[in-house]
Amino acid sequence: MKSMSPVWHPFTQHAVQPEATLIAGGEGAWLETGDGRRIFDAISSWWVVTHGHRHPHIVQAIKHQVDRLDQVIFAGFTHEPAERLARHLIAITPPELEYVFFSDSGSTSVEVALKMALGFWRHRGENRSRILALEGAYHGDTIGGMSVGERGVFNAPYDPLLFDVDRLPFPSAGREQATLDALDAACRNGGVAALIVEPLILGAGGMLIYPPWVLAEMKRICRTHGALLIADEVMTGWGRTGTLFACEQAGVTPDIGCYSKGLTGGSLPLAVTLCSADIFDAHYSTDRTRAFFHSSSYTANPIACAAALANLEIWEREPVLERIARLTTLHAARLDRFRENRRFANVRQIGTIAALDIAASDAGYMAGIGPRLYQSFLARGLLVRPLGNTIYIMPPYCSTAGELDLAYEAIGEIADEIE
């Protein structure tokens, strides 16, 4: 039976998924349904909520900004929240990143980065248009984001719209050098504009982790051949991997960096793409045709920028890194019980992200077990959205040991039921 709602939900097959759960409220690490049930948000509502739902400081900043300025065109105009936010972002990112371009989602921040890279080489008069990406990567659902992401069921209908990308093998354990050799060979062939990577972990590609030294070598190879490095930190930024940004762990400064999700603490949509002065300068000219032609109607929305500023103030005023370290330790202790369990494989963790694969005859995102797992978790009052047979936990930083226990106990129980 078709849904009675006219709403078409993302990544949802309405013919097989029950009615959407109505959420009426949220606080801390919890959501509340319309009929009063509580659900532990074990995946931070698609990885965006960092400090918890409705953090008072962010809520107050939004209310204050609404009373002053709600929206203004950002071409030819500016406003205080955007100016302050840009300067604050430049202060906490590597000094080589000197310019901030605003957009409104992770996908668009990636789209901006790709256009910046291609415009950079064109305006320098160099014929570089090849983009390199890792196998299994996910960089969003806009045309550019899909093009550099893994090809498959997600984007097969749109293949005529996508541009070709050279793929590098994922640097799995023991196979890291093969990835680096492939990168070096691709660069030697010439014409490479940029390599785009999710630093240290693939997100939607299965929560696959690789070591910091590999990222550092990727940067070195790109620098040797003059190719740009784009770091897609949409998911990995804002503490998810244990540090403010994942690139810190490799001592790497990207030429272009993409940041979103936790930028506003999960309260409002906002994204930024940071770049080096060289990227900006290549577009800087009295020739108007060299302008950077990208925008959205809500670029640098003042209310969203105010929320982001409040988020950064929380990082300064509250012990966020200590909470992240504690959450990291809690994950590690709870994952141990699954390491020798034959029903699970590839038990892994980086910072506040924990993942493990449940044994299934069909693996991968479209594994039939995925919807069953989702419904089983939801029935227990847990928002856990497996990537096929991959279960991952990525909760807000305010989550307690007891709340985490709810998720890990459910993993064991559900595995028993399925077996």
Kindly state which CATH superfamily the domain 319-418 is placed in: Aspartate Aminotransferase, domain 1 (3.90.1150.10)
In contact, 18 and 227? CB cutoff 8 Å: no
Strand ranges inside 309-352, DSSP E? 344-350
CATH T-level topology, domain 59-317:
Aspartate Aminotransferase; domain 2 (3.40.640)
Gap between the Cα atoms of 262 and 26, Å rounded: 17
Q: ∠ CA 105-108-113 to the nearest 5 degrees?
A: 130
pLDDT at res. 416:
86
- Residue 1 clears pLDDT 70, i.e. is over it: no
β-bridge pairing 166-168 and 23-27: unpaired
Strands 353-358 and 344-350: antiparallel
pLDDT digits over 139-195, tens only? Answer: 999 999 999 999 998 899 999 999 999 999 999 999 999 999 999 999 999 999 999
Q: What is the pLDDT of residue 359?
A: 87
Which stretch of 128-137, 139-148, 286-295, 365-374 has the lowest confidence by average pLDDT?
365-374
Q: What pLDDT score does 48 carry?
A: 98
- For the chain, domain boundaries: 59-317, 319-418
What pLDDT was estimated at residue 51?
A: 98
pLDDT of residue 418: 79
> pTM here?
0.97
Mean local confidence (pLDDT), 332-342: 95
First to last CA, the chain: 30
Buried b (16+ CB within 10 A) or exposed e, 393-413: bbbbbbbeeebbebbbebbee
Q: What is the pLDDT of residues 376-412, one digit of tens each?
A: 999 999 999 999 999 999 999 999 999 999 999 999 9
Sorting pLDDT into bands at 50, 70 and 90, what band is 218?
very high
Q: Express each pLDDT in 251-269 by its tens digit.
A: 999 999 999 999 999 999 9
Domain 59-317 identical in fold to domain 319-418 = no
Q: How far apart are CA 235 and CA 280, in angstroms?
A: 25
* pLDDT tens digit sequence for 69-127: 999 999 999 999 999 999 999 999 999 999 999 999 999 999 999 999 999 999 999 99
